Structure 1
């Protein structure tokens, strides 16, 4: 199925706004014949023209475009807690994906050879072998701590564009958003900086799993694998062996939880992640269970709390647009804002585009647009 404009939606919008095809063509800077070809389905607008068309007609992308199943943006959410992904969330993310197409030409060339995983099983032994191979590639011995720069480097090698965002600590449905554009061979990963340190590394590893297994993105088995992979990558079996041993030696529930917390602190991950990996190890080898009440463990984790990544990055959050962009480029090695800056300056896109492509408030969109326009 070819990607086309919705004739009905365009015709209705033209009538609603009092535009003729000739006037629309003038405002878009194209010929009247080009607009006619788009509407007839003989041609399709380039990403920048598609964006301007959507804004002029005030149509959402899912209203304006009849999607080609093969080339439609593929989205996956790292949800917050028990949040549910609705069709509205999916449509909104796909709309962001269509807008991101316009940014792609301004990105630096992507690596032609990218790291991939052939095996994407959640079987314990097979997953540990997969994780061992990845960690070896990163130069990490069994018990070594995996740092953020390891993850960022892998995203870079995979040609993935990281987009750090400030979406609030509790206001959003997602903590991370993965948008793959198959036709453009580019993946964008939005990471919410307003999340706790002990979870943030897990979410990054989760998203890396999606990057390694693009054929599973957006599928339930892809989410299951990404969760299993993230936990094992951050706290592999060699670490789980020690954590389990420390927990079973403890004589009291609180002492056992404290022993696991020390492992969590040393790896900068959550107490619950350590517990889960130790329990997977115990169950796989059919060892005696750790005498830990899971409800008590979750309560202990909540009592410890976690500083937000944004608090650590910025002295006085929320940061200025300048500091925010600098952190994205320097800390996360993101090419996104350099591309967006060039696009805004050369194509004249306004604050509305910045707001929508980053899914931020109009005030934040205007402030960022002012910074990128300098």
Structure 2
């Protein structure tokens, strides 16, 4: 079994101690090139060097080293912020988080023998998507054209044994608004959802992540773009399905000004708690699928309207916490109430049983060291 450094714990502890690679090389009496290769994963420290590194950073061997080789790499997918580019560093960080989630799996109340089903032949074909979302809506008892409540979406995640991990990652401070991590060995899926987002975007993102849950085979095959395209198309069809798109389109085509058409988008968006962009795109998809002409509005105007529309409403986090920054205890309590997640319960049992380091906690939750300590205190009670 091969070994590698736990890069997330390594980087977190370096930040805590204010150490860079040059400083580490100097204190360990090594070349900067040697240390750089450790951080990039190109080489692994010799036993004596590893011991010195652990002492310097105050990390135990179990926190500093990960064993690989017999365990498949976690599969990851991001719901990126607009304009962000996914780099190897983002992927490495997410995979490191996945490795750290593995010890928590035994504390989950999931069926150890039967995993969630996957779609046989996922497609972005309009008719395929509409039949699929109609089936899933029936399974959770939601009308074919009715708005989908958040509680019903959470029910689907539970049915598919996906662990929801609510987070507060800020509005602009991170690369992603949602993160999907699948552990092939345990067949568990972990969905990190940032609550610091516009409420009318959040439902689409949830369903996008559900699309990844349904198409794990695509991620396993490395067909990332195909998986993203499917998840986007699936999310749009699910939150604003054909019956709703048909009714909205019929009203849309009767209007004579773009200003009134944009108002119509906002009316439907508010009724379904989704973005006006989703309403617009699904009407367009409906028209194209049925060979109907569709009056296009200049792209920037649709997105500008969506931005102005969102400004009328509090973010999801502001709604949940009355605009205040919650304590760790309050956040955990509200997250459990709103999302029915068992993540914090399982994580709490893991903390009390295994007593991982604070850097380990920071890595799993992807938070700063101070917040990690607050979560540790709240979950250890």
Distance 1:230 1:52, change over 3 A: farther
- Aligned equivalents of 1:207 and 1:251: distance in 2? 37
RCO comparison, higher one (Cα < 8 Å, 6+): 2
In structure 1, stretches of 5+ residues that fail to align are: 24-50
Q: CA deviation at 1:19?
A: 8.6
TM-score w.r.t. length of structure 1? 0.84
- Aligned equivalents of 1:254 and 1:356: distance in 2? 47
Q: CA deviation at 1:244?
A: 1.1
- Aligned equivalents of 2:134 and 2:172: distance in 1? 35
Q: Is the 8 A contact 1:115 1:157 kept in 2?
A: no
1:280 aligned to 277, 282, 285, which one?
285
Q: Which shifted more, 95-104 or 299-308?
A: 299-308
Aligned to 1:53: 61
- Aligned equivalents of 1:361 and 1:143: distance in 2? 42
- Aligned equivalents of 1:19 and 1:242: distance in 2? 64
Distance 1:11 1:253, change over 3 A: closer
Q: CA deviation at 1:115?
A: 4.5
Q: Is the 8 A contact 1:117 1:213 kept in 2?
A: yes
CA RMSD of aligned residues (A): 2.2
1:12 aligned to 27, 46, 57, which one?
46
Aligned to 1:145: 147
SS of 1:210's equivalent in the other structure is helix
Q: Which shifted more, 7-16 or 215-224?
A: 7-16
Aligned to 2:345: 338
- Aligned equivalents of 1:199 and 1:53: distance in 2? 42
Distance 1:316 1:300, change over 3 A: closer
Aligned to 1:36: none
Q: CA deviation at 1:215?
A: 0.7
- Aligned equivalents of 1:13 and 1:221: distance in 2? 43
Q: CA deviation at 1:110?
A: 3.1
- Aligned equivalents of 1:155 and 1:14: distance in 2? 46
Q: Is the 8 A contact 1:321 1:368 kept in 2?
A: yes
TM-score w.r.t. length of structure 2? 0.83
- Aligned equivalents of 2:76 and 2:299: distance in 1? 32
2:261 aligned to 256, 272, 277, which one?
256
In structure 2, stretches of 5+ residues that fail to align are: 6-37
